[in-house]
Amino acid sequence: MKSNHAKNGTRGIKRIDLAYVELASSENARDINRDIVLEIIRSQQPVARADLARSSGLQPSTISAIVEQLISEKWVSEGALARRPRGRPSTLLSLNDALVILVADVRPHQAIVALVDLNGRFLAREAVPLVSEPARSVEKIVHSMQSMRAAHSDRSFEGIGISMPGRVDPESQRLILAPNLKWADYDIKGVIEEQMQLQVELANAANACLLSELWSGRLDGIRNAVLITVSEGIGAAILANGQIITSRSGLAGEFGHSPIDPSGPICGCGQHGCWEVFASSTAALRYYAELAPKSRQLTIHELLRLTEEGDSAAIAAVSRQAVHLGRGLRLVTASLSPEVVLITGDLTTSWARFGPIIQKEMVETMLAGAPPNLGITKDGELSRLRGAAAVVLQRHSGYHTSPHLTASGKRNRRSATVVS
C-alpha cells in the first residue's frame, strides 16, 4: 500500500431505500475524489500536488486533473513555490481566500455578524443588539452585512450562513422550534436573500457548532459524537456514522426535553421534569436563588464570576447544575453511545472546576463499555460562526459534507464565484 487511505477494506456507502437511489457513473467518481482532494487541501494547506497524490492515494495525473478543475472553479488558488532540499520545487495550493461568506450567530438578545473566508479566518465581526420584532431585528442584521460587504468589495461573496437558536427544517429552511426566540413564521431566509441578493442557509446553533468541530479536524476519526449546548436551555447535535443527524424537520437532538423526573418543575415546553429544567444555566440561577435567597437576580455570567471568586453558594449552585448535566448524559450515552461528548456554553468557562463533576457523574451512570471522551468547545460563538460558514460551503459545493444537510436542494457544482 502506498497510501494510508484504504482502497479495499471498508467500502463505499450505499443507500438502501429505492426511493433515494442514485445511480453511479464516472462523473460520480470524479465528484467524490474532487471532494476528497479539496478536503485534504483545506486541512493541509498550503500543499503541493505531489503531497496530495501521496496522502490521497490518487495518481499524480489524476491529482493534476482534479486540481485543474478546482482552480477553474475558483475554489483553489496556486501560491508560492516551495523549495525543497533536492529536486524541482513544488507549487503550493491553498483555498482561494478571495472567497468569503457572511455569517450571523443569532441569539435571543443579540446577533453577531461576521465575515469569514474559506479558511475560517475572520475579516470582520460586529455585535448587533436585537429587538422584539423579527422584522426590525433582521433589518439590523442586514444593515450590518451590507456595510461589511461594502468594506470588502474586492472579495467574492459566496453566500450567507446563519446559526439560529432553534431547530431549522432542512427542507423548508423555516424555524420550527425556537422557545427562546419569538420569530414564529417570519421568513428570515427569504427576507435576507431578497435584501442581500445572496443565498442564505439557516442552521441550528448546535449543528453549526458540531460542523465547525468537524471542520477543525478535532473529530477526525470519530464517527459517533454528541455535542451539548448549555445555555438558557439544553440543545444537542448528533454525529452518527460520521453524519450529522437532523432527522425529520431538523428536530433531532432535543435531549434537553427528555423527561428525567416527573416530580420536577415544569419546563417551558409544558412537560414536567425535562433534563434542561435541572441542568441548564437557568437551572443554575434557580439553584443559586434558593441557596442565597437574599441575593439579587443575577445573570449566568455574574454567577460564574462569583464561582471564580470562591462564592460558596454560587459554587454549590453551578455544581448542582453540573451534577444534573452529568447524570443526564446517561440519556445520551444509553441511546447513542457516542465516542465523544462535547459540551459548549456558559459553564465551560469554569471547566476546571465543573468538568470533573460532570465527568464523574457521567462515568458512574454508564451502562456498559468505556465512557465517551468528554470535552468542551472553547469558544462557542466563533465556533457557531465558523459552522454557519461551513453550512454555506457544504450547500454550494457539495464539499466536505454530511449528506443530510445537502439532501434537499439542487446540486450546483458551479464555479465558486458569485459576485465580484
- Region 29-68 residues binding DNA, contact defined as CB under 7 A: 29-30, 33, 48-51, 57-68
Please give the residues from 177 up to 236 whose contact with a copy of itself meets the rule CB under 8 A. 177, 214, 219-224, 236
One of 17, 19, 20, 86 touching DNA (CB under 7 A): 86
Tell me how far apart the alpha carbons of residues 27 and 276 are, in angstroms, rounded to a whole number: 47
Q: Residue 70 contacts by C-beta under 8 Å, 6 or more apart in sequence?
A: 34, 37, 38, 41, 76
The residues, any chain, with a CB within 8 Å of residue 249's CB and separated by 6 or more, are 167, 169, 171, 176
Contacting residue, 1, 2, 14, 88, with a copy of itself by CB under 8 A: 14
Q: Which is nearer to DNA, 33 or 224 (CB)?
A: 33
Name the residue nearer to a copy of itself (CB basis): 62 or 417: 62
With CB under 5 to 8 Å by kind, the binding choice for 238 among a copy of itself, DNA, none is a copy of itself
Output 66 or 279, the one with its CB closest to DNA.
Answer: 66
Q: Please list every residue from 321 through 380 that binds a copy of itself, using CB under 8 A.
A: 327, 330-331, 334-339, 365, 367-370, 372
> C-beta of 99: minimal distance to DNA in Å?
22
Options 57, 97, 302, 418; binder of a copy of itself; rule CB under 8 A? 57
Identity of the residue numbered 276: E
DSSP string, 174-229: -EEE-TT---TT--HHHHHHHHH-S-EEEEEHHHHHHHHHHHHTTTTT---EEEEE
Query: Which residues does 44 contact at the CB level (< 8 Å), separation at least 6?
Result: 51, 55
Q: Please identify, using beta-carbon distances, which residue of 157 and 278 lies nearer to a copy of itself.
A: 278
Residues contacting a copy of itself: total by CB under 8 A: 97
88 forms part of the interface with DNA (CB under 7 A)? yes
Residue with Cβ nearer DNA (65 or 292): 65
Closer to DNA by CB, 58 or 313: give it: 58
Q: Is the backbone peptide bond immediately before 129 cis, with ω within 30 degrees of 0?
A: no
Least Å distance between CB 279 and a copy of itself?
Answer: 13
254 contact, one of DNA, a copy of itself, none, CB 5-8 Å limit per kind: a copy of itself
Report the SS3 class of residue 345.
strand
Smallest separation, CB 400 to DNA (Å): 17
The DSSP element (H or E) to which 105 belongs, if any, is strand 99-106
Minimum CB–partner distance for residue 85 and DNA (Å): 6
Q: Which does 365 bind (CB under 5 to 8 A by kind): a copy of itself, DNA, none?
A: a copy of itself
CA 4 to the chain's CA centroid: 28
CA-CA distance, 330 to 243, in Å (whole number)?
22
Place of cell 447544575: 321
* DSSP labels, 240-305: ETTEEE--GGG-TT-GGGSBS-TTS-B-TTS-BSBHHHHHSHHHHHHHHHHHSTTSPPPPHHHHHH
Give the HSE-up count for residue 326: Cα atoms under 13 Å, Cβ half-sphere: 24
Applying the rule CB under 8 A, the residues between 27 and 56 that interact with a copy of itself are 28-33, 35-36, 39-40, 43, 56
Residue 151, binding choice from DNA, a copy of itself, none, Cβ under 5 to 8 Å by partner class:
none
Instruction: Please check whether residue 150 is in contact with residue 161, taking contact to mean a CB–CB distance below 8 angstroms.
Output: no
Query: Does 108 contact a copy of itself by CB under 8 A?
Result: no
3-state secondary structure of 417: coil
Residues that bind DNA (CB under 7 A): 23-27, 29-30, 33, 48-51, 57-68, 81, 83-91
